[in-house]
Amino acid sequence: MKIGSVLRDGKVVLAIAVSEDEVIIPEARDDLPATMLDVIEQWPKAISALEASIGNAPRHKINDLHWVPPVPQPGKVVCIALNNSANKDRIMSGPSHPATFIKPSSSLVGHGQPLRLKSAYGRVHPEPELAVVIGRRASDVQREDALQHVFGYTIINDLTAPQMRGEDTFHYRAIHPAKGNSSEIEYVDSWVSYPGRYKGADTFGPIGPWIVTRDEIADPHNLAVRCVHQGRLVTEDNTANLTNKVADVIAFISSYQVLEPGDIVAMGTALKKAGSGGQAVQNVNLTALGGPIEVSISSIGTLSNPVEYR
């Protein structure tokens, strides 16, 4: 099932895709889930109940609706950095496990909603990504069991502002306990960068349009990813190229950080495919060029957003 959240008469309600460009909105009834978190908590029973409710419900065109993030306020959005095998030859040093940062849920916007940029942000580029939606609490889970904790998949465009990234990077002398005397200190030359701004500004997390439940995605690592800017193909990739796979990522995160129902895990960015004729996503400066910017993932759909200036 493809299931999203839309704003209708001031209230967030569910929307179920019934064709390429049409959805139905289930009635408000006691025996049906009202919010995406209800669906996730009552899954898989909720899915059958929603399916049975489709019947002859009126159809709405996708682009006539006001989409909000499929999980409107997830507890957290965990993003995986530098997770494409095409990165390998440009990493001089780094971890072999997934490295993560948190994108605030206040930065999320739905399909069709404007990305609101400021010239002070400098260059802002898209990062087309597969996003995993957690269905069951995951703490210290094994790789073999990890996919059982997945409710479904959606699309996220992990907007990034490299000028702000550069500004928010420190070269400094970190304080460590002194070698040989742990009650004294010594200084260690270090670099540290902080993603709160360059990854977490308002509207830097367009997500959706909907979640495709796990049963419809036989293999999350066989999905074509395309990024299109103003009608021109920018990047074509496949989730097969992700270095750390969904099961590895969930198991690893859960070894230090609980994943809760509705949490989102963004898997890392599709890159320029050799010979595709596309550019790198880094060439698309949304601040200068405007939108729309689209991300499509096969079996899921297309997330498209215009650009506005604030």
- Binding residues for its own copies, how many (CB under 8 A)? 69
Q: Which is nearer to its own copies, 164 or 303 (CB)?
A: 164
CA distance 108 to 72: 8
Q: Exactly one of 187, 215, 219, 306 binds its own copies (CB under 8 A); which one?
A: 187
Does 148 contact its own copies by CB under 8 A? no
Q: Any contact of residue 19 with its own copies (CB under 8 A)?
A: no
Nearest CA to 117 out of 78, 164, 70 is that of 164
Whichever of 26 and 135 has its CB closer to its own copies, that residue is: 135
Question: Does the protein bind its own copies through residue 171 (CB under 8 A)?
Answer: yes
Q: Is 61 in the site for its own copies (CB under 8 A)?
A: no
CA 179 to chain centre: 41
β partners of residue 227: 235, 295
The two beta strands, 307-309 and 115-117, are parallel
Smallest CA-to-CA distance from 21 within 304, 233, 234 is with 304
Angle at 254 between CA 249 and CA 260, to 5 degrees: 105
Long-range contacts of 165-170 (CB under 8 A, 24+ apart): 165/193, 165/195, 165/198, 168/193, 168/194, 168/195, 168/196, 168/197, 168/198, 169/193, 169/194, 170/194
Q: Is 95 in the site for its own copies (CB under 8 A)?
A: yes
Tell me how many degrees the CA angle 269-108-131 measures, rounded to the nearest 5. Answer: 40
Sign of CA dihedral 241, 99, 281, 150: positive
Residue 90 binding its own copies, by CB under 8 A: yes
12 binds its own copies (CB under 8 A): no
By CB under 8 A, name the one of 79, 225, 228, 264 that touches its own copies: 79
**By CB under 8 A, residue 233 contacts its own copies:** no
Of these, 76, 149, 226, 245, which contacts its own copies (CB under 8 A)?
76
* Among the residue ranges 26-34, 37-45, 46-54, 172-180, the one whose residues contact its own copies (CB under 8 A): 172-180
CB of 205 to its own copies, least distance (A): 11
**Residue 107 binds to its own copies (criterion: CB under 8 A):** yes
The residue with tokens 């440009």 is 90
Q: Which of 4, 13, 103, 112 binds its own copies (CB under 8 A)?
A: 103
Interacting residues toward its own copies by CB under 8 A: 73, 75-76, 78-79, 81-82, 87, 90-95, 97, 99-107, 118, 120-121, 123, 139, 162, 165-177, 182-185, 187, 190-197, 200-202, 255-258, 260, 279-280, 282-283, 285
